[in-house]
Amino acid sequence: MATSVKMRDEDKQRLDRLQGELQALRGYRVPLQELMARIVTLAEGHKELLFEDAARPMTEKEIAAMRRLCVRTGIPTREEDIDDIIAEEAR
């Protein structure tokens, strides 16, 4: 099954450069699918690097953007209710 992935032009250029370097080392063309599989495998082995900024505090701009997502329904809701609903849907 083929999947299309959108990426910035500069990231595509970097990916093409990596593909070319791997081709030069191996002596034959390495399909992009194989290169992506290798990148995913490497990322799985180094999750701490991949996720290193995931635990950083949110910026004021990010907090403001999150608050804009809130919808006022007029229905009183407790955090515990939301947790219960999410846990139930996850089952």
Q: Is the confidence at residue 54, as pLDDT, over 90?
A: no
Q: Is the confidence at residue 19, as pLDDT, over 70?
A: yes
pLDDT band at 90 (very low <50, low <70, confident <90, very high): confident
**22, containing H or E segment:** helix 9-26
pLDDT band at 3 (very low <50, low <70, confident <90, very high): confident
> Do the domain assignments include residue 4?
no
Spatial separation of the C-alpha atoms in residues 31 and 19, rounded to whole Å = 8
> Do the domain assignments include residue 60?
yes
Token pair belonging to 15: 């990916």
Spatial separation of the C-alpha atoms in residues 59 and 74, rounded to whole Å = 28
The boundaries of the domain holding residue 59 are 9-90
Q: Is the confidence at residue 1, as pLDDT, over 70?
A: no
> Do the domain assignments include residue 2?
no
Tens digits of residue pLDDT in 34-43: 999 999 999 9
Q: How many domains does the chain have?
A: 1
Q: Is the confidence at residue 7, as pLDDT, over 80?
A: yes
> Is 30 exposed, middle or buried (CB count within 10 Å of its CB: 0-12, 13-18, 19+)?
middle
Instruction: Give the pLDDT confidence score for residue 2 in this predicted structure.
Output: 77
Q: Is the confidence at residue 44, as pLDDT, over 80?
A: yes
> Do the domain assignments include residue 3?
no
> Do the domain assignments include residue 80?
yes
Amino acid at 68: R
Q: Per-residue b/e over 44-62, b at no fewer than 16 CB within 10 Å?
A: eeeeeeeeeeeeeeeeeee
> Do the domain assignments include residue 65?
yes
> Do the domain assignments include residue 41?
yes
